[in-house]
Amino acid sequence: MKKKFAALFGLLTIFAVIAAGCGNAKGTATSGNGTKQESITAVGSTALQPLVQEAAAQYMNDHPGATINVQGGGSGTGLSKVAEGAVQIGNADVFAEEKDGIDASKITDHKVAVVGFAPVANQDIGVDNLTKQQLIGIFTGKIKNWKEVGGKDLKIVVINRAEGSGTRAVFEKQALDGATAVKAQEQDSSGTVQKIVNETPGAISYLAFSYINNKVKALKVDGVEPAEENVKTNKWKIWAYEHMYTKGKATGLTEKFIDYMLSDEVQKNLVPKLGYMPISEMQVERDAGGNVTTK
């Protein structure tokens, strides 16, 4: 009888251990030293990705029990994945209301920064400034050679972002007055676009300010320079909020990390360091319909 009782007690102990492990399976566990382990995933905008990755690295360094996985994939992916509940955070360059197939009422917006976008070209095109109509002509395929806009006798090679890209949506809406860019080579990543434009004679595309360096030429539009001081006043109109969406109210590590993104440590240091702007510095506001008002 005692042997049967001991065997039964052993089985119950095993079941208890398994149950305890299952209870910690949804992103939370406890390490051997008693530290609470939490894990979340943020997916979406590659324009926002460098900021989120750097902030996540800093946060994890200060909080050893936290794991924050950051992935790209584009704003459309970020919005759809967070709406499905597949990830905890969906990063986007656009308002959820602007994206077809997304029920914006089911997800919560957290604006964490502002980013400017600019047309960028290979360094050797011989042009520094385009009118808006010339820009539209290039991206809709009506203008095919740089000599048509005062540059070198060089074929224009348009590089697009893929469908679902928030960067592409912002650029087509604000730089091309809603026109759809010509069918051309498409890339999923801002980093890849930067590399291709740098290496391809005659290439033109568009990037967030955070990806613009001396490898590509940022072009003025109607004589206005793509600069932060011009974004803040809406003199440079190609800009967007950077959003981190959650399904419903943020909780747990998700809430803590978003609070960290909005903290002075990130907003006053990391945001400007990586080429973004704090929302607090904007002199205007823009809603999901594109309406701009002065603060």
CB contact set of 71 (below 8 Å; sequence gap of 6+): 41, 42, 43, 44, 49
- Give CA angle at 243 (49, 203), nearest 5°: 50
Neighbours of 282 (CB within 10 A): 17
Report the pLDDT value the prediction gives residue 271, as an integer from 0 to 100. Answer: 97
Report the pLDDT value the prediction gives residue 30, as an integer from 0 to 100. Answer: 56
- Which residue in this structure is represented by tokens 């502002």? 114
Neighbours of 165 (CB within 10 A): 29
* Amino acid found at 102: I
Bridge partner residues of 20 (DSSP): none
Locate 125 and state its tokens. 């095109």
* DSSP H or E segment with residue 136: helix 132-139
What is the rounded CA–CA span in Å between residue 126 and residue 136?
Answer: 18
CA nearest neighbour of 167 among 106, 229, 118: 118
Report the pLDDT value the prediction gives residue 162, as an integer from 0 to 100. Answer: 87
- Give CA angle at 242 (237, 246), nearest 5°: 145
Asked if residues 118 and 238 have their Cβ atoms less than 8 Å apart, the reply is: yes
- Residues (pLDDT < 50) of the chain are 1-26
What is the rounded CA–CA span in Å between residue 116 and residue 210?
Answer: 8
* DSSP H or E segment with residue 190: helix 190-199
What's the start-to-end Cα distance of the chain, in Å? 80
What is the rounded CA–CA span in Å between residue 35 and residue 139?
Answer: 53
Report the pLDDT value the prediction gives residue 35, as an integer from 0 to 100. Answer: 64
What is the rounded CA–CA span in Å between residue 91 and residue 242?
Answer: 7
Report the pLDDT value the prediction gives residue 31, as an integer from 0 to 100. Answer: 54
What are the DSSP calls for 4-31, one per residue? HHHHHHHHHHHHHHHHHHHHTTTTEEE-
* Amino acid found at 17: V
